Amino acid sequence: MMKPCASCAFFKKDEALPEAKSGFCHRYPPTVFLMEQDFRTLFPPVRDQFTCGEHRGASKPRTRA
């Protein structure tokens, strides 16, 4: 069973709308958009219950001693 994006380490909530159930996926580098003479970078927006199949647990990986 795939886990939802909200529990993924790459999921970051939208700080502008704290009550929203959406956020941004930081799995890959942001996409660059050129708008006339200006450019913006944007991470893909995702809903908290969306599942992409590339879930990463929020817990830190164990290191071998």
14 close to 22: Cβ distance less than 8 angstroms = yes
Model confidence pLDDT, tens digit, residues 38-54? 777 788 888 888 888 78
User: What does pTM read for this prediction?
Assistant: 0.62
Phi, then psi, of 21 in degrees rounded to 5: -100, 35
**SS3 category, 19:** coil
Q: Token digits for 38?
A: 């200006």
Model confidence pLDDT, tens digit, residues 1-17? 688 888 888 888 888 77
Q: Token digits for 44?
A: 């893909």
